[in-house]
Structure 1
Amino acid sequence: MTGLRSFAVSLAPVLVLIAMWEGVARSGLLTPFLLPAFSVVIGRIWEDLLSGSLASAMALTTARALSGFSIAAVLGVSLGIVMAVSGAMRWFFDPIVSVGFPTPKIAFLPIIVLWLGLNDASVVAITALSPFFIIAINSHAGASGVDKQLLWAARSLGSKPGELMREIILPAATPQILTGLQIALPTAMIATLVSEMLTGVGGLGGQLLDAQRYADSPGLFAGVVEIAFVGTVLIRGVAFGRRRLLCWHSEGRAGATA
């Protein structure tokens, strides 16, 4: 009951926003082309759902986003931890990460398309590149912040490097790593959608591009609502996984009792 009550409270602002949207659209202050009613947009989403175009577009965009995000997660976490435990690797990669992090990754899309062509590989590649540096930086910060006294004590007791990594560094860095993954997932989703819109290779971004080309106002707003729905589901899923993975941690216990 507590969970249902908190869900209802969190949903209330969204319902108020929808009611305001419907009211303004029905008031005649704006033309239906500039702001179609929410009920009209929902009708359009229902039509797309019945035709099967919505399910295929959602599946394609989600698959691309999760594929790129997974690649970035594996490579970013590995690089961040390696930089934290190896001075030589930190010396080599730190300038590269420092330059790559603030650079808009979408600027590399023309080069990636030149190399890979207009296909799923290009979208997945730019999706993986966009959150990579966020994950690497957070992983490095988490692994670097491990209490040095714990490491010294473990070494004095004869722990090997593999045991230090498995028993101390990874558990201590996990909260920070998961924070990086939570921040990186929306970035991956944005990169996927922008890439689809710029390359026209289908998905939810491709549908938005088609709606813009044909001045399909309900289709544009329907695409935004669909994207918001997919993004919310993915972010909620990551947050749920974080709570489960950190059930042993004070943060996880606090979230479970909240």
Structure 2
Amino acid sequence: MSFIERLELTLEEKQVYSLLLGSGQLTAFEIAQFGNLHFSKVQVAIDALQKKGAVGISEGYFKKYFVRIPLEYLAESSDQIGASVKNNLANTSTFMESKKTEFNELRTNLVTQLNESVSRKEAELDQKLASSSSELENIRNQKKEFIVSKSNEIKRDLSTIQDEQKQSLTNFVQETLQNNTDSISRAKSSIDSAEAAISQKNTESASTSSSQVVQNVNQTLTSIEEISQTLKPKLELLGENYSANIGEIPQLLEESIDLTKI
């Protein structure tokens, strides 16, 4: 209950008290003028307020009235205000504790959700990386198998070509040597036959010419044999060099295709 309610003021007393409360010190005439009240009613209201301790009077040439609040009411109001403040502080503390608890719970939930989200993302990334690594490994193995297959195929083709060329060269050398040997043998046989015929038909006078012919023939045979002996090692060396060059091709292929770098 407020101080004014405790005083149980009349209508005129409330008007006078309100004017003094809002304007400060006023004379009775000023109160009547400002409040549009009859002077006698103002005087009666002031006297009643003075008796109730709600209005005081200042000393001077003109009497001025002002609002008074009893000390016991101020003490009581102070106690009420203190209790209200304590109650408000207690309520505020309880409210803050409640909000703090809610904030901590919210923070814990957010941290938990964030950790779960991060864990899920990490698991997804690990799965994608594992899948990508597996795909890359499969592609690498497929390429390696393809290169190995092609390398083996090229080796087989080169080996076949090498064998064919080697056999062809061997046949050519053998055929050439055989042809030269046969030609030399036929030439020698012809010369031997001619020499025998000349020996039988010619006389001693012609023996000198026959001997010269034989000598010339023998020189020719010797030259042919020397040419044959010279040609044979050259052909053999040619065949060996060709075979060696053909044999180096697979090795060069293996060196150029390093499967460990795939």
- TM-score calculated relative to the size of structure 2: 0.24
Q: Which has the higher contact order (CA 8 A, sep 6+)?
A: 1
- TM-score calculated relative to the size of structure 1: 0.24
Which structure: larger Rg?
A: 2
